[in-house]
Amino acid sequence: MKKVAPASPPASDDRNRDPQPPPNRGPQKSDFMPGPLALIAELTHRCPLHCVYCSNPLQMKPRTEELSTATWIDVFKQAANLGALQLDLTGGEPLARADLTELIAAARSAKLYTNLITSGIGLTPERFDALVRAGLDHIQISFQDSQAAQGDEFAGTTAHEKKLAIAAAIKKHRIGFTLNFVVHRGNLVRLEEMIALAENLGAQKVEIAHVQYYGWATENRAALLPTRLQLDRSLEIIQAAEARLRGRLRVDYVVPDYYARYPKACMGGWGRKLMLIDPSGEALPCHAARVIPNLHFENVTKRPLEWIWQESESFQKFRGEDWMQEPCRTCDRRTIDFGGCRCQALLLAGDAALTDPVCSLSPKHDLVTAITDRSNFPATHALASSSESTLVTPSWIYRPNPS
Amino acid sequence: MPRPSPDSKPRLAPGCRLSDAPTQQATLLMPEGALKLRGPGLQILRSCDGQHTLAEIVATLQSQFRQADPKKVESDTTEFLEQLNARRAVDFE
C-alpha cells in the first residue's frame, strides 16, 4: 500500500522508504516499480480442446520452442525474489506438460501460491493426488456449458463427461476448487444450470466470465456476442445467486466489456501487477500483447526477469500515464482503469495508445456500438448484408493445435 | 446470512493459507487474491484452525487487549471473519 505523498521530498539517506511521487500525479515510468504480484506461466499452447473463444494468440508456439523444466523453475524463483506471491499455471492445457508435478513442487519451494488453470482433460485421480502432494493450492476447471452436447460443440471435442468425472475426484481433497464458465450468446440461456453444476460439484467458487474478444474469440465474435437482453437477464441471475449462496459458493462475474460504460482495468494496468510468460519464454504485459505492432518482447532465456520488468521497452511502453491521450489524460478514472486495454484499442481502432473504444467516453466508441447493434438487431443487419448473418447456426472457427 | 454462532469453529477455507515466505509481510493467500494482514488479523487467522470456537478466539483477544471495549473486540472480530467468509476464505465449521 502506497503512503500518502508528503509535502517535502524524503531525505536522500532514507533508503527504506518508497520514493514519493509529487502530489496529484499517478505513478510514472521513472518511479520505483514494485515487482509483479503474480506470474502467469503459459506452459504450452498445446491443448486437447479447440474452444471457439480461446484467448491464445492466432500464432501459437510449437512444442519445439517450449521452455525446459529447468528454465521454468528458474523463472519461478526469479519471480518470487521480485516479490510475486502467486503463480498461475495455464496454457493451452498445462497438463500437456509431463513435468507439471515437478514444476508445482518447485514453485511451492519458491514460496509461491500455485494455481492450476485447466480443462481437466488429461487429469486422472492418481495424477491429481501427485499434484496435491507436490503442493498445488488451487485448481480451476473450465466447463464450456452445463450440457454435454453444447459444451462439446463449443470445445470442438468430446470433453464434458470427462470433466464431470475428474471433478468428482477433486472433491476428495481439501484444496481450493473453482469452476469456470465462459459465457456467450450460445450458452447464457443455461446460466442458472451452470451455477447449479458448480454447487453440485462442491466448488468454493464459480467464475462466470463473458467472452473477451481476443485471439480466436475475435474470429467468432458475431456468433458469440450476447444481446443486451441476455446480458440484463444474466445480471439478475448472478445477483440472485450471490445472495442465495453467500458464504457457501463465491460467484465471480466478469462483465462483457463491449456493453460496459467504462473499460476494464486490463491486467490491473500495463506492467503494474502481472507478468505473463509464453511457452517459448517471451515476457508479455498482457495475453494479447503480441498483436501490438513494433513492440519487441524480451525472452527469459536472454534477460533476467527483474530487468524485463523494470527496464524493458515493452513493459514501460504503456506503464504510468505519459503515453495517454485525451480523453484519458485528464480523466478522473485514469487511475482506476488505466485507459482500458491496449490490445483492444489496437484491435478495434488500430492504435494501441488510444482510449479503449469500449469506454463510453472514447471518441471511437461508435465502433463498439456498431458491433453490438449487429448482435441486438440481427434481422436488420441480415437484410442489409447477406454475408454476415447471425440468424443461421454459426459455423465456428475452431482453434487448432500448434505443431 | 445468519451471524456465525459463538460455538462455530472458524477454519481457513480450502485453497487459503497464510504465506510461509520469511521475507514477506504476513499475507493470507487465496485463489486469485492476497490479503496483507496488519494488527491482530494475523493472530485471528492463526487461530482459525477448526479447533477453536469463535467465542474462544474472542475471549483470548479480549484478555490481550484489556483497554479495548470487550463488545467492540467481539463485533470487530466477528465482522472480520464474516467478510472473509463471504469471500470463501473462512468456513464456520
Confidence of residue A377 (pLDDT cuts 50, 70, 90): confident
Least confident of A175-184, A254-263, A277-286: A254-263
Q: What is the pLDDT of residue A370?
A: 94
Query: Which of A148-162, A261-275, B10-24, B60-74 is predicted least confidently?
Result: B10-24
Interface A–B counts its CB contacts (< 8 A) at 60
Half-sphere exposure in the Cβ direction for A335 (13 Å, CA): 6
Give the one of B20, B29, B85 whose C-beta lies nearest to A247's C-beta: B85
Q: What is the pLDDT of residue A4?
A: 35
Flag if B14 and A174 touch (Cβ within 8 Å). yes
For residue A174, which residues of chain B lie inside 8 Å, CB to CB?
14
Q: Which residues in chain A have Cβ-Cβ distances shorter than 8 Å to B15? A: 137-138, 175-177, 204
Chain B closest-CA separation from residue A230 CA (Å)? 27
Checking if the pLDDT of A161 tops 90, the result is yes
Shortest CA gap B20–chain A (Å): 7
pLDDT-based confidence at residue A382 (cuts at 50, 70, 90): low
Cβ atoms of A313 and A296 within 8 Å: the answer is: yes
Please report the residues numbered 232 through 291 in chain A whose beta carbons come closer than 8 angstroms to any beta carbon of chain B: 246-250
Q: What's the pLDDT score for residue A31?
A: 52
Q: What are the two backbone dihedrals, phi and then psi, of residue B76, each rounded to the nearest 5 degrees?
A: -65, -45
Q: Which range among A30-39, A280-289, A334-343 shows the weakest confidence by mean pLDDT?
A: A30-39
A36 interfaces chain B, CB cutoff of 8 Å: no
Residues 54-93 (A) with a CB less than 8 A from some CB of B: 80, 83, 85-86
Mean pLDDT of chain A: 89
Residues listed for chain B: 93
B15, B20, B30 ranked by CB distance to A111: nearest: B20
pLDDT in tens, A281-302: 999 999 999 999 999 999 999 9
CA A265 to chain centre: 12
B72 lies within 8 A of chain A by CB = no
Q: Name the burial class of residue A96, with classes exposed (0-12), middle (13-18) and buried (19+) by CB atoms within 10 angstroms of its CB.
A: buried
Q: What is the pLDDT of residue A255?
A: 87
Q: How large is the average pLDDT for residues A363-375? A: 94
A178 and chain B in contact, CB less than 8 A = yes
pLDDT of residue A21 exceeding 50, the answer is no
Q: How far apart, in Å, are the Cα atoms of A238 and each of A69, A234, A242, A249, B55?
A: 41, 6, 6, 12, 34
Q: pLDDT-derived band of residue A276, with 50, 70 and 90 as boundaries?
A: very high
Give B88→chain A minimum CA distance, Å.
6
Q: Chain A residue with minimal CA distance to B19?
A: A111
Q: One digit per residue, pLDDT tens: chain B, 93 residues? A: 557 889 999 999 999 999 877 766 889 999 978 998 888 899 999 999 999 999 999 999 999 999 999 999 999 999 999 999 988 899 998
Residue A383: pLDDT band with limits 50, 70, 90:
low
The answer to whether A175 contacts B88, with C-beta atoms less than 8 Å apart, is: no
pLDDT grade for A203, boundaries at 50, 70 and 90: very high
The pLDDT, as a whole number, for residue A320 is 92
pLDDT at A247: 86
Q: Does B88 touch chain A (CB under 8 A)?
A: yes
Three-class DSSP labels, chain A: CCCCCCCCCCCCCCCCCCCCCCCCCCCCCCCCCCCCCEEEEECCCCCCCCCCCCCCCCCCCCHHHCCCHHHHHHHHHHHHHCCCCEEEEECCCHHHCCCHHHHHHHHHHCCCEEEEEECCCCCCHHHHHHHHHCCCCEEEEEECCCCHHHHHHHHCCCCHHHHHHHHHHHCCCCCEEEEEEEECCCCHHHHHHHHHHHHHCCCCEEEEEECCCCHHHHHCHHHHCCCHHHHHHHHHHHHHHHHHHCCCCEEEEECCHHHCCCCCCHHHCCCCCEEEECCCCEEECCCCHHHCCCCCCCECCCCCHHHHHHHCHHHHCCCCCCCCCCCHHHCCCHHHHCCCCHHHHHHHHCCCCCCCCCCCCCCCCHHHHHHHHHHHCHHHHHHHCCCCCCCCCCCCCCCCCCC
Cell triple for residue A290? Answer: 503480441
Instruction: Return the exposure string of A193-230: e unless at least 16 CB atoms fall within 10 Å of the residue's CB, then b.
Output: ebbebbbebebbbbbbbbbbbbbbbbbbbbbbbbbeeb
Calpha distance A339→A359 (Å, rounded): 8
CB contact under 8 A, B88 and A1: no
Residue of B1, B20, B38, B88 for testing the chain A interface, max A β-carbons within 10 Å: B88
pLDDT over 50 at A333, yes or no? yes
B31 contacts A178? CB cut-off 8 A: yes
Terminal-residue alpha carbon distance, chain A = 45
Q: What is the pLDDT of residue A350?
A: 95
For residue range A74-87, list pLDDT tens digits in order. Answer: 999 999 999 999 99
pLDDT of residue A381: 58
Question: Which pLDDT does position A27 carry in this prediction?
Answer: 44
Of A111, A115, A250, the CB nearest to B87: A250
A394 pLDDT tier (thresholds 50, 70, 90): confident
The residue with cell 490481550 is B64
What average pLDDT does the segment A204-212 reach? Answer: 96
Is there a contact between A85 and B87 if contact means CB atoms under 8 Å apart?
no
pLDDT in tens, A93-124: 999 999 999 999 999 999 999 999 999 999 99
Report the residue of chain B nearest A39, measured CA to CA: B32
Residue A345, phi then psi, degrees to nearest 5: -60, -40
Mean pLDDT, range A345-352, rounded to an integer: 96
Rounded to a whole number of angstroms, the CA Rg of chain A reads 22
* Nearest of A402, A399, A403 to residue A49 by alpha carbon: A399
Residue B89: its pLDDT value, please? 93
Residues of chain A contacting B27 with CB distance shorter than 8 Å: 85
* Spatial separation of the C-alpha atoms in residues A207 and A193, rounded to whole Å: 14
Chain B CB within 8 Å of residue A141 CB? no
| Residue of chain B minimizing CA distance to A273 | B33
- Provide the ipTM: 0.91
Which residue has better confidence, A230 or A387? A230
State pTM to two decimals.
0.89
